[in-house]
Amino acid sequence: MSDGWGTGNGWGGPNGPQPAGQPQTGPDWAALAEQHDQEQRRRRQRRVVGGAVAATLVIGGLTATAVAVTGGKPSPAAAGDARPSPASDSPTALAFGGSSETPSPTASALPSQSASTSASPGASASASRSASAKATGKPGGASAAPSVPAGPPDPLTVISAAATDTAPLDPAGLFSSTTLTVNGKTWTRVATGSADPCWNATTGHLGDPVTAQGCRAMLRATYTSGTSAVTIGVAVFDAKANADAAAAGHKGQVQGLVPAGSTSFCTTEGCPGTHGAIGRYTVYTVSGTTKPGGNATDATATAAGAGFASYAQSQLLARGRR
C-alpha cells in the first residue's frame, strides 16, 4: 500500500479526505438544498400570485359585462345575492306595469317603452281618434250629421189638388176681410154667396168652360166704395189642370152680386173684368156701379179690379199654409 499521492488505499483516492491545506472541490450539498428550497418557494409564490391575478381579471371582466348589460350601473343584487331577481328580469312586469320589491335597474335607469308610448303626441292623437271613433261609431271622430227637418210644403202645391187642399172653404171664410183698402180707397164687403151649379153665377157663356172642367162651386163677394162696386168670383175645381183649362177657354164674365133688394149691376155681358188661374181655382172680377143703369162703366171700380184679384189670390195661397 502506497502512502503517496497515487490511487491506492491512501488519502489520494477520490473518495478519501483531501490532503491538508487544499480546498475541498466537491459540491456543497447544504447550499444546493437551500437553493432548491428557495426555488420551490418562489415557484409556489408565482403560482399564488398568478392565480390571484387570474381571479382578479375574471371578476373584472364579469363586472364590466354586468355594467354594460345593466346600462352603466351594477345590479343591486351583486352586493348580496348574485342570483337575479325573477321579478326584475321579467319583461312582463315591465311592459304591463307589474311591481317588484327589487326594481330592475333597466326600469329605474330608462323610461319604459309603455311610458314612452303614452307620452308620444302621435300616440295620444291616435288614442283620441280611436276613442272618438268608438263614441261616434265612425272613423275619425266624425259625428253623424243632424237630420234637417223638412220645411213647410209649398202653398201653391198644396192648393193644386183637392186631396191636399182640405181646409174649410166657404165665401165668408175665403173673403174674410170686411173692409179693404185698394188704390187709397176703403171698400166694404156688402154681400157673399155661393152658386152651384157654377153657370148660375155667370153670363156671356162663361158657364161653358167652367162646366166642362167640372166646376164644383162659384164663390162670390162684393165690395163697394160709394157707388163703385167690384164682385170677386172664384170657381172651384178638383185639380190645377182643370182650372188652367177653364182659364184658357175663358169667355163671358161673372155676374155682379148685390144684397137682396139692392140695385143689380153687371148681370149681363159687357162690364170690364179680370180672370186668371191659381192652383185648382180660377179667379174673376167684374167692375161696375150701383147707380141705376145696369152696365154703366165706373172708372174707380175698373181701376180697383186688379187689386181685388190679387187679394183673392193671396187668400187662396193662405189656405196652403194652414
Give the CA count within 13 Å in the CB-facing half-sphere of 136. Answer: 14
Q: What is the pLDDT of residue 295?
A: 87
pLDDT tens for 175-218 read: 999 999 999 999 999 999 999 999 999 999 999 999 999 999 99
Residue 246 has pLDDT above 60, yes or no: yes
**69-73, 149-153, 155-159 — which one is most confidently predicted on average?**
155-159
In the 8-state DSSP scheme, what is residue 189? Answer: E
pLDDT band, residue 19 (cuts 50/70/90): very low
Which of 8, 242, 63, 279 is CA-nearest to residue 164? 279
Neighbours of 250 (CB within 10 A): 18
Angstrom distance (rounded) from CA 122 to CA 208: 82
Q: What is the pLDDT of residue 148?
A: 74
Residues 6+ away with beta carbon under 8 Å from 247: 275, 276, 277, 282
Residue 127 has pLDDT above 70, yes or no: no
The mean pLDDT value of the chain amounts to 75
**What pTM value is reported for the model?**
0.56
Q: What is the pLDDT of residue 60?
A: 61
Burial class (CB in 10 A: 0-12, 13-18, 19+), 182: buried
The Cα-based distances of 83 to 61, 80, 117 in angstroms read 17, 9, 31
Please name the amino acid found at residue 216. R
Q: Are 226 and 199 in contact (CB under 8 A)?
A: no
